Structure 1
Amino acid sequence: MQGFLQRYLSLYRPLITALNELMSSYELSHSLWQVMFYLKNNGPSTLVDISAYYHVEKPTITRRVHRLEELHMIKQIPGKDRREKLIQLTEQGEEVYQALRVKITDLEHEVMNGVAQDEQLITFQTLPKIKENLMKREESLRGEA
């Protein structure tokens, strides 16, 4: 289907902008939210876990984590190995997560207004399949190099 990527990309930027506006009162952005979201859904984790999940370089995640520590949203906890740094949400981070989760859910409802429930479900199920195909492509390209 020609034009799919263009349609997706034309949606992406306005959606990120709307998310950033929602989070600005907490001095957060979508990129910082990603770390909080990961920790909330996966529990205490390492920087490597997060960077692998989002396919982002570890130094990028390290900068995000430092910023979230400055904001008292996350903290380091001892891991099994002294070299392993585990991070988790703080109590304040949990509270902010819950408050933003409500606002983000409201935004999701707003942007899906007028989209039939069955179309929403199809989109929800299709996007992970597209991501999986992109990951397969990436692995294949690495294998050729």
Structure 2
Amino acid sequence: MEGFFKRYLRLYRPMITSLNELLSTNELSYSLWEVVFYIKKNGPSTLVDIANYYNVEKPTITRRVHRLEELQIVKQIAGQDRREKIIQLTESGEEVYKECRGKITDLEMRVMEDIGQEEREIVFNILPKIQENIVKKGRE
């Protein structure tokens, strides 16, 4: 299917731009939101857990966490190993999550307008399979 990546990138870039604009009212970017979202979904987590999930280097997540700490959205708590940093949302972070989650849900609904439920479900189910294929091929 020639042209798939071009179509995907034409979708991805404007979507990230829209998300960054939407999140900017909370001093967040999409990359910071990813950390907030992961912690909300998975509970208190290590930097390594978050980095592995998003397939990025630990220093990248460390920088994001430091920024989120400055914004008082996350805090570090003691782990079993003193070298291990466990990150959790603060009360303020929980509120920011709720507010941003609502905005993102509204955006998701707007971009899926005029697309039938069956087509929405197909896209929703196919995208993780494409991601899995990309990751799997990258390991070969």
* TM-score over 0.5 (shorter chain): yes
TM range (shorter): over 0.9
CA positional deviation for 1:80: 1.2
2:139 paired with 1:139: yes
Write the deviation string for residues 47-98 of structure 1: whole angstroms up to 9, x where unpaired.
Answer: 1101100011111111000000000000000111111110001000000000
2:80 equivalent in structure 1: 80
TM-score between both structures, scaled by the size of structure 1: 0.95
The whole-number CA distance in structure 1 between the counterparts of 2:53 and 2:99 is 24
**What amino acid is the match of 1:84?**
E
RMSD between aligned residues: 0.6
2:67 equivalent in structure 1: 67
2:120 equivalent in structure 1: 120
CA positional deviation for 1:135: 1.0
Runs of 4+ aligned structure 1 residues displaced above 3 Å come to: none
* Helix, strand or coil at the partner of 1:88: strand
2:54 paired with 1:38: no
The whole-number CA distance in structure 1 between the counterparts of 2:24 and 2:115 is 28
Q: How many residues get paired? A: 140
Extract unaligned runs of 5+ from structure 1.
141-145
The whole-number CA distance in structure 1 between the counterparts of 2:7 and 2:17 is 16
Out of 77-86 and 65-74, give the one that drifted further.
77-86
TM-score between both structures, scaled by the size of structure 2: 0.98
* Helix, strand or coil at the partner of 2:45: coil
**What amino acid is the match of 2:99?**
A
**What amino acid is the match of 1:79?**
G
